[in-house]
Structure 1
Amino acid sequence: MNAIWLIYGYHQSGNGIPGDPNAGRINHAGSDTAGPMAGSLPMARSTTITINGSHVQISDEQIFLATRDQTPGTPQTYVVLVNNVLWPPTQLIRSATGVPASSGETTNYNSHAALKALNELGFATFERVEYDARGAVVVRESRKRS
């Protein structure tokens, strides 16, 4: 089965050359042609994420710093592109805030909350799309809606 990552959500900085059919795509090896904020020095951005019912302010600087000396975990369904590397969104939020996505049976935040915050900070986010040998999109059982 083959897989590619497609742009997920809203990305303010654009995602490649207009009209390019591969714009916004990234292969599973992690190479890209136009990462977030490519070709410019961005101004610092900040947003809030709700963790345990409290609003926590985070910035793109915290995300960049959180990736230093870290190795990205294995992506599941969603990834975020930071400095040309694909990261699981909850790993980025956990590294930036120090709060794990869950503690025992308590959920502190989920990947959708992490994706929303990371999109607001200007990072490109992607969702995994899988294809079978004939090129048809494969929908995982857990993603099917009745």
Structure 2
Amino acid sequence: MHIKYDKAAIDPSLPGILLLSHGDLAIGLMDTVQAVIGTTSNIAAFTLSHEDDPSRYQEAFLSAANSFLEGSVILLDVFGGTPCTRLLLSAQEIQVPFCAFAGMNFPLVSEAIAARELFRGEELRNAIAEVIPYSIVDIVDKLKELEKG
């Protein structure tokens, strides 16, 4: 298990963003987004490998989720995988408001970072959800549209 999270630098007025994944996706995506938009606070990445104890992984991300007083946006790599099932099994242990989406990618992470500056609770969840239909684009279809137009 690899964790990238600076608990000492938490901004109590800002919701947290937790990235949960198999392999190194969460840390890689966090690093990529911050390389493009700049370093941001209240973001944590948790990776899980075959050798890791899922219970310890769960304890680690629950601790982080509960440290963000304004709640959390939890983004997962895939619905039904171990990070997701661990969240589903322990959701009642999260003491602050949170929303969660499976299928994380660059547009969702960057939208979560931007939207949390303006929104909380259900409004935050809705702002992130609005990006989902546009977060994956069929490039071949776009090329065909360009050829026609």
Tell me the TM-score normalized by structure 1: 0.24
Which has the larger share of strand?
A: 1
Higher helix share: 2
Higher relative contact order (CA 8 A, sep 6+): 1
TM-score (norm 2): 0.23
